[in-house]
A and B are shown apart, each in its own frame.
Chain A
Amino acid sequence: MSPKSQRWNNWILVVASVVLAIAPLFLVREAEFGGADGEAEAAIQEINPTYQPWFNPLVEPASGEIESLLFALQAGLGAGVIGYVTGLYRGSRERQASQHHPEVSQSRSEFKDH
């Protein structure tokens, strides 16, 4: 695959993922969008009304805001590592390329997206 068509394909993948994530918000407008495990909890109560959870989380986020902070932190940490690793690989590859063919290093000035 040529780099150009590869880039196109990657953008299509991104757009498709985003569309898949947003579409439900428009398709099922009256939904609450709660969590699936909350629903599972309700289903357990329905099947077995006497069941009592025998253990509670050691640490509960103090509020929904705190919980979303922690989730954002989790995503941020992961994304940071991914960015670091990808940057490192790209940099080392470009260094190799410029050692072999000095003229390639000039093409770095035109920003290549992938």
Chain B
Amino acid sequence: MAGLSCYLVVGSPKPAYAMHIMEGFLPVGWAVFWWVVYLPFLFWGLRSLTHITRQHPETKLLLALAGAFTFVLSALKIPSVTGSCSHPTGTGLGAVLFGPAVMSVLGGLVLLFQASLLAHGGLTTLGANAMSMAVVGPFIAYGIYQLVMRSSGRQTLAIFLAAALADLITYVVTSLQLALAFPSATGGFFAAFTKFATIFAVTQIPLAVSEGLLTVLVWNWLQTYNREELQVLNLIKQELSA
């Protein structure tokens, strides 16, 4: 945990913009479209969340931990090799612990906080931002984790890749959403995607690695102190997928 606080000091925020699609920067049609796509995931997440807290109240603390992890990481604007700043997402941990649906709620809450108080991201673009950070990212994390666990059984590697790739994919999706809304007049969708991906995704690469490392750190800690809870969680995931 000393690591997190150390990281907090180093990554203390600077007055600058970071990521997410800004308020009003998606045409109305696209803004509505992404909201409509996001809502079913949100309801699924709420159902999954109530199910988990009802059946296993002892996991509430771990849920708080997963939410807080996202809260902290997405507040840190970290410089990257491209000479701009962006922030990690912190969604991989919760997705691996509780299954991906839960993160649609936790990640959505973080985005709502930032959009309504910090003018960071936006309410009109919340659907799009939630799809990238709170839905696609966590689902990728969960998928990668299962894949690596089944093929190699190396848990640390699985956690690292899950968190890092979820972070990276979040920004690839953001680039995709912007390119769909703003195709370039000359090169169409692909030229625009390349442009946005250069801004977002390339900036994100070192941050994704950092996020992977930090998630492994928290995971190691959980392994040391929470073996019983983690076993309960495995049961939950079996229930949910059953």
Contact = CB atoms under 8 A, between A and B. Distances in A.
A59 B123 CA distance: 11
B2 interface: yes
Contacts, number: 240
Nearest to B204: A36
A84 to B, nearest CB: 8
B114 to A, nearest CB: 7
Nearest to A66: B15
A31 B203 CA distance: 13
Interface string B69-111: 1111111111111111110000000000000000000000000
Given A28-B83, A44-B25, A71-B75, 5 more contacts: A31-B84, A63-B15, A67-B118, A77-B68, A83-B1
Contact of B119 (A32, A59, A65): A59
Given A22-B10, A89-B225, A41 B25 contact: yes
Contacts of A85: 61-62, 64-65, 68
A30 to B, nearest CB: 8
Contacts of B62: 85
What does DSSP make chain A's interface, helix, strand, loop or mixed?
A: helix
25 contacts: A3-B224, A10-B220, A17-B213, A20-B206, A27-B81, A28-B82, A33-B14, A36-B86, A37-B19, A37-B22, A40-B200, A41-B17, A48-B185, A60-B119, A71-B13, A71-B77, A72-B75, A74-B113, A75-B12, A75-B76, A78-B73, A81-B64, A81-B65, A85-B61, A86-B225
A82 B15 contact: no
Given A17-B7, A24-B81, A58-B116, A40 B214 contact: no
B200 to A, nearest CB: 6
Q: Which 4 A-B pairs have the closest CB atoms?
A: A64-B15, A31-B83, A35-B17, A53-B24
